[in-house]
Amino acid sequence: MRARFAVIGLFLSAPGLAQQSPTIGAQAAVRQLEERWRVAQQANDTAAFRELLAPDVTFVGTSGALRDRAGYIKSRADSWIPHAAQFRVDELRLRVYGMTVIVTGRETSTGPEVNATGRFTHVWVRRGSSWNLVALQRTEIAPSR
């Protein structure tokens, strides 16, 4: 009798495990992509931008400017991020909603000509077998006085 309850308990708990697995898998995949994105930004890697950004991506920069994919890639030529000695990302928080992952975090650029900190929101969507950034937004954190 005890074995029968153990087997029933196993079947009842299996759906909960199945529901967690896709969430954990999505979080792991997007964490890796966030690191690729960080490296691409610091290296100004246009090929990586084209791979990671969805064709219909929207980007809102710290100035409030709205850019599409071509505009974002073009704007990187004037960005201070590739000129920073360090470009760090921390305080990552990932929330999974089915085939969408929303990431918030903090980015810090430091170097001889730059010292900037900001918050960001990235929206990743899985289309087919790949994840792409469909929306990005940055807000500058004013230096403390």
pLDDT at 84: 75
**Of the candidates 90, 133, 124, 122, the residue with the CA atom closest to the CA atom of residue 109:** 90
What pTM value is reported for the model? 0.81
Q: Is 4 within the bounds of a domain?
A: no
Number of domains the chain contains: 1
Which residue range is the domain that position 121 belongs to?
22-141
What's the CATH number where 57 sits? 3.10.450.50
Mean pLDDT of the chain: 84
Q: What does the pLDDT look like over 41-88, one tens digit per residue? A: 888 899 999 999 999 999 999 889 999 999 999 888 776 665 678 889
pLDDT at 81: 63
**Of the candidates 38, 6, 20, the residue with the CA atom closest to the CA atom of residue 106:** 38
